[in-house]
Each structure stands twice: as C-alpha cells, then as structure tokens.
C-alpha cells in the first residue's frame, strides 16, 4: 500500500476530490502537498486579488486537514524538483493530482508525469474542475466547438437526466507527517498595501464558504435567476465564481446539491436552467482555451490584428480607477477595486466601453481584471474579453456596442447600484444619475468628472474601425 502524494493545486477541498479519493483507496498513507510555483504559469501568474483568496483558502484547507490529524505540506520552488525531493523524503510510491487546463500548466504537468513515471512511480491525474474535460465534448467531426449553443447542447446531452453524486470525503484519512513544510505566511500571498482590507467583509474563502454561498443562492436567488441575473442593483447571482476557480466546490457538487434541496418545480424552472447554462459557459471557456491556447494572448479572429487600437495610458488609468465620467462604468470599476468582484452585466458594459468607445486593446482590460478579480480565471477572462471585443469565438457582432446609458437605465433603473459605488451621485435626481452631464455644471458641483468621450462619436469611430478591417 505505502504512501501517495496528493498534489493540491486549484482543488482546495476534501469532498469530490478524485485524486484524494484514489489515494485513500489505494494507499495506506497520504502526504497532502501544495507547491507554490507561480513562475510556472507563464505570463499569467496569479494576480494580487487571486493571491489574497489563495492565502485564505489554503488556511481553511490546512484547518480541515488538521481535523483529520494531519497537515498540508507547503513548499515553494520548481514543482518537479520539489515533488522528487518529497518522494525521496517520504518514501512515496505514487503521486496523484487533479487536472488543470491552463496552457502553460498542461505542458508542465505532462513533463512532470513523464519524468515521475520514468523514475518508477505510479502517477495519475483526474478530471475534477469541470463537468467534462475539453477533449470529451467535440463536434461530430471530432473538432472543438467555436460556438457555445451547440457545445452546451452536446454537454447537456452527456450529462443526461441522472445527476452524478459527488465523492464523499475519504474516511478515514490517514495522513503522513513530514518535516520541512514552510509556514503559509512565507508564501507572501497577501498584499503589502491595504487595498484588500475590505475583501473579507464580502467573501468567505474555503470549502465551507462555498457551500454557504450555494445554500444562500439556492434559498434566495435561484428561482428568479433568469430574470434577475442582469440586475446589479439586486442580489441575483450566485457569486460562486471564485469558489469554482479555486476548486472549493465543483460543478458536480453544486448540481447535486440543487437536486437534493429543491422541489422538482424549481429544478424544472427557468432560473435553474439558466444557472446551469452559465456553469456550462465556464466549461466552454476552458474548452476554447485548451483547444486554442493562443487565445489568452492573441485575437482568434486574426482580422483584429489590423484593428486601429489606441494606446493611451492616462485614459486607461481613468478607466481603471472609475473616473471615466460614465456612471455605470465607474460604479463597476469601483466595485471591483473595493470587493475584488464586479457584476457580470457591468463587466460587459465596462469592457465594451474600454475596447469599443475608448478603442483600447482588450488585453489591457484582461490584465487589469486578472490582477483585481478574486475570481480571475484565465479561460473565462480571455473568452469574455474577446467576446466583448468581437475578436474571439462566439463573439458579439462587431456592431454590438453597449450604450452605457441605455444599459444602466434598463438594468439599474433607479440608479441604486450607481449610488452605492459612486457616492458623488448619491443625491442625484433620477433624471441625472445615469447622465449627470444633462445639466450644465451638475457633475462638477458633485465632484464627479465630465465624460471622457462622447458616446455617439466614439461609437461611430469603433464602427469605422470595424469596417476598415472587414474590408481589408
């Protein structure tokens, strides 16, 4: 039986953990390991907000393993070298992990698996983060999908009507101790500035926090999700994205939990169907990144390589700090800075303003979101930004340019969301909260900036740019 190393990565939970389950069934002892090696993630090492979440999620996982009379062994350094050293020190005969699909990590893990097997070790990796791995959902021609709807139709058919049961926490967990683990603080994940101090009032990282968030969503918002998920002025979304990204909960766990707690009428309703479709969109994002790994850096639609992007650092800084003079955009950017999260509808509006009205390359926005979102996920981030810019798979048509005023009036009709995050406009009358420039001098009297661009003129400039690359 011997010892198996379970290499934790973005699967920071004990339940529904295939690698942990396999180790518990096949081996006498388990050495749980986390290796901090951000340099191996290439240009997309975790951003500051993600590192904040990672610190607290690891802390929770450490406590959970402590309740099983063990500990999470923490190391820094090259993953392969560290694993080889741990194998020698522990006498382990097997190494197990759950798969990741980020291009740089796929290449790394393939190499590590090869070397460990050459050393005579048993090595196995498992599907755990998605409903289905990217190579399991293909067209009839065995090609990757480029459009979500047929992808979802295929995935939904594979899932069928039977809800898969998640794996239970292995019992007993026989954990092996090993000297040489470093302290969590030595990973230096927490920001040195105080900008993240407010995160803890909005989030509870860890497996228990994920379950609590799911319970709250199922009780309060799921029934009206289809109608309310686009309303930033209401609590109508699940806020499960960071928990899913760090693997504190899985699609299988949340799907099963909903079926366990909700009556059939609710499960068959539009709210549940719409929510599961959004979880499927996450699978689709990983599908696209896996099959088109360059999409994290380059336009999938190569015509956009010729688009006349602008490069204006001062304008970009105004967008980042929520000082564009467009209330709904500024509200979203300030929510992001304060909480590490932004409502999805507002993400699209803010992204459209940056790429289409401001004419900035979508990578500028993707990098800012990557550093400031607690749910920063390379697949979802890249797909979302290319969707808005019009340069990716299943992209928004080139002529779809969100009018931020129209969007705000539709989805934040009373200005509740704007008033919360743009305090300068808290006392603004309803007529002006979405368009403070309608009354001369009003914005200045509130200490709020005038619009950095004319909405109509900047929209036309974007259309002209699209026409140029379409005809080239």
- Residue range 130-145, pLDDT digits in tens: 999 999 999 999 999 9
CA distance 417 to 407: 12
Enumerate the β-bridge partners of residue 97: 7, 125
Domain ranges of the chain: 3-128, 129-166+207-291, 302-471
Are 98 and 17 contacting, i.e. CB atoms less than 8 angstroms apart? Answer: yes
Q: Is the pLDDT of residue 150 over 70?
A: yes
Clarify whether 248 is annotated catalytic.
no
List 41, 164, 344, 403, catalytic entry: 344
Q: How many other C-beta atoms are found inside a 10 Å radius of the C-beta of residue 171?
A: 7
129-166+207-291 shares the fold of 3-128: no
List 362, 387, 421, 437, catalytic entry: 362
Task: State the pLDDT at residue 472.
Answer: 67
pLDDT confidence band for 400 (50 / 70 / 90): confident
Query: 296-329: string of b/e by CB count within 10 Å (b at 16+)?
Result: beebbbebbeebebeeeeebbebbbebbbbbbbb
Lateral strand order in the sheet of 3-8:
73-76, 29-36, 3-8, 94-98, 122-126
Percent of the chain with pLDDT over 70: 99
List 385, 387, 421, 437, catalytic entry: 385
Q: Is the pLDDT of residue 408 over 70?
A: yes
Q: For residue range 194-223, what is the model confidence (pLDDT) as tens digits? A: 788 889 999 999 999 999 999 999 999 999
pLDDT confidence band for 374 (50 / 70 / 90): very high
Q: For residue range 18-29, what is the model confidence (pLDDT) as tens digits? A: 999 999 999 999
- The CATH architecture one would assign to domain 302-471 is Orthogonal Bundle (1.10)
Average pLDDT score over residue span 272-276: 96
Clarify whether 421 is annotated catalytic.
no
With H, G, I as helix, E, B as strand and everything else as coil, classify residue 5: strand
Helix, strand, coil percent content, the chain, rounded in steps of 5: 55, 5, 35
Clarify whether 309 is annotated catalytic.
yes
Fold of domain 129-166+207-291 = 1.25.40
Place of tokens 């926490």: 169
List 93, 164, 278, 424, catalytic entry: 278
List 41, 93, 281, 403, catalytic entry: 281
Query: 270-284: string of b/e by CB count within 10 Å (b at 16+)?
Result: ebbebbbbebbbbbb
Clarify whether 98 is annotated catalytic.
no
CA distance 402 to 387: 13
Q: Is the pLDDT of residue 394 over 80?
A: no
| CATH tag for 3-128 (out of 3.40.50.620, 3.40.50.2300, 3.30.1360.120, 3.30.70.260) | 3.40.50.620
Average pLDDT score over residue span 251-275: 94
Clarify whether 362 is annotated catalytic.
yes
Average pLDDT score over residue span 223-240: 96
List 41, 93, 164, 309, catalytic entry: 309
Clarify whether 344 is annotated catalytic.
yes
Helices vs strands, H then E, count in the chain? 21, 5
């Amino acid at each position: 039986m011997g010892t198996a190393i379970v290499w934790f990565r973005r699967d920071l939970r004990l339940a529904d953990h295939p690698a942990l389950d396999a180790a518990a069934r096949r081996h006498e002892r388990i050495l749980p390991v986390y290796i901090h090696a951000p340099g191996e993630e290439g240009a997309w090492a975790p951003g500051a907000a993600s590192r904040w979440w990672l610190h607290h999620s690891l802390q929770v996982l450490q406590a959970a393993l402590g309740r099983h009379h063990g500990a999470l062994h923490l190391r820094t350094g090259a993953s392969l070298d560290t694993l080889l050293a741990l194998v020698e020190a522990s006498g382990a005969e097997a190494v197990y992990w759950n798969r990741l699909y980020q291009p740089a990590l796929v290449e790394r893990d393939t190499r590590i698996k090869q070397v460990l097997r050459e050393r005579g070790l048993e090595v196995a990796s498992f599907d755990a983060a998605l409903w289905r791995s990217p190579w399991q959902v293909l067209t009839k021609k065995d090609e990757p999908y480029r459009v979500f709807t047929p992808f979802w139709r295929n995935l939904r058919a594979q899932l069928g009507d039977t809800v898969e049961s998640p794996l239970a926490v292995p019992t007993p967990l026989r954990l092996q101790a090993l000297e040489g683990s470093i302290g969590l603080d030595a990973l230096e994940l927490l920001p040195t500035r105080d900008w993240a101090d407010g995160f803890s009032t909005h989030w509870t990282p860890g497996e228990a926090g994920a379950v609590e968030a799911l319970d709250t969503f199922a009780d309060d918002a799921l029934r009206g999700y289809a109608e309310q998920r686009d309303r930033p002025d209401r609590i109508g979304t699940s806020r499960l994205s960071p928990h899913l990204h760090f693997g504190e909960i899985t699609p299988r766990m949340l799907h099963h939990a909903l079926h366990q707690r909700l009556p059939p009428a609710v499960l068959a309703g539009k709210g549940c169907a719409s929510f599961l479709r959004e979880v499927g969109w996450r699978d689709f994002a990983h599908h696209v990144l896996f099959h088109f790994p360059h999409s994290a850096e380059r336009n999938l639609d190569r015509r956009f390589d010729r688009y006349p992007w602008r490069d204006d650092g001062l304008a970009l800084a105004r967008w980042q700090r929520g000082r564009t003079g467009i209330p709904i955009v500024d509200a979203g950017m300030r929510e992001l800075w304060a909480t590490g999260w932004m409502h999805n509808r507002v993400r699209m509006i803010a992204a459209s303003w940056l790429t289409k009205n401001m004419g900035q390359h979508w990578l500028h926005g993707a990098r800012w979101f990557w550093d400031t979102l607690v749910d920063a996920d390379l697949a979802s981030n890249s797909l979302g930004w290319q969707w808005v810019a019009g340069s990716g798979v299943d992209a928004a048509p080139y002529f779809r340019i969100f009018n931020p005023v129209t969007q705000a009036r539709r989805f934040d009709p009373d200005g509740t969301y704007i008033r919360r995050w743009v305090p300068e406009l808290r006392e603004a009358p309803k007529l002006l909260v979405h368009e403070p420039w309608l009354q001369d001098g009003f914005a200045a009297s509130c200490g709020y900036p005038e619009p950095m661009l004319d909405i109509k003129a900047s929209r036309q400039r974007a259309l002209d740019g699209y026409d140029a690359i379409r005809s080239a």
